[in-house]
Structure 1
């Protein structure tokens, strides 16, 4: 059992995906006990029942953007497990509202990607804490690399970017990854990027039109140890934030775009539109 109710590490609270069911039950029970001891629950429930609060004002232009809809039924794979767990729910909902069927995939246990995917979305997370399992799952890594080589649209951010690299070095041990991009990563004890970011799309890529301006955020401790490329090969110019190298971000290969910046779908409608368009072919 974990001794702390919410154990911490370099990016914050240890995610629930890494708890066993027994540990999760202990956490819930402890939180319930704390609430019962320190909160006036009857008073809180009473206030909620009386609805003595003002609704949050909605801007008059909210929801004015037309919903993005795929021209055909598409299946988009989403790596979601202990290694890849950072996803805005709004992003997943935007894809579903656009007509996509989302297929959740465990990169630690699946033997390969499903054969009938139209695209793949790899979000952020902690590939470094599951590096050995990811490395040991050779068949899955191979299937991702082969899918990228065969032209499957793949959008990867932060942890997903790392997974598409060649390897990651942790405590002197090098763990092989998917090998889509010739990049070797390591981890620093200090943040390498943390805060809001913004970029402009300057090169062709599978998802964003040229000139698109995107705002998002970065939060990472990973370091680019080596890369068989240079800043001129990166598709995005950072106006704010760190990016991958020398204020640029966005590795592109075939129909793959991998970057450090996380985006939120409601604030960047081009994101869902681009992924759905790429998936529809």
Structure 2
């Protein structure tokens, strides 16, 4: 019982600290899983002990609060202050999401990891590619990625970061992660090739551009209601698709 209580408390804390919430990461991981090549799917499932990528999609949100993985706390985001770009913003010496995704991908491609190291890095990559596509994870250091920008979600006081974590995705569509995939993942081959083009550095720039627009349209005290949800529904859907297809691309390249 105590273990379940601890897990529940960790979940509540993790939701407040990181992005997309559980549903968003599950959707991203499931879209990726459904676009793996047969060879990549076999190797991924083997590395994950027979589990689906979805099973571990939120693992790092918990693990970052454990002493042995505390070094990953800054890996979930890349803060970019107003007037800065992803290139000009001073780098966090403890790392960021772009650095982590780039280095983890290189390590997995090297083929030099032990089985345990491979499993650990794979679980991290599954989560971090999702984080890379959550707009507020490219938010400003000055307000901790929107955590210090107060807004109202209907009649409840919250932060802009929290809205984009869980409130907005859950309000957009009350679907399971499999229903999300079924409903939004309908790209043609050409469309899929277009969104998987580029490299992680390009993807964070794209997410930062979205983040800048969100800041501009969401000043302190913004009342977020139906019109805001309607405006940003396509953004949520597109970011889930981008994250899922891009994660699949990385995994297919790693496990050729």
Answer with 1 or 2: which has the greater Rg. 1
TM-score, with normalisation over the residues of structure 2? 0.31
TM-score, with normalisation over the residues of structure 1? 0.30
Q: Relative contact order (C-alpha < 8 Å, sep 6+): which is higher?
A: 2
More helix by share: 2
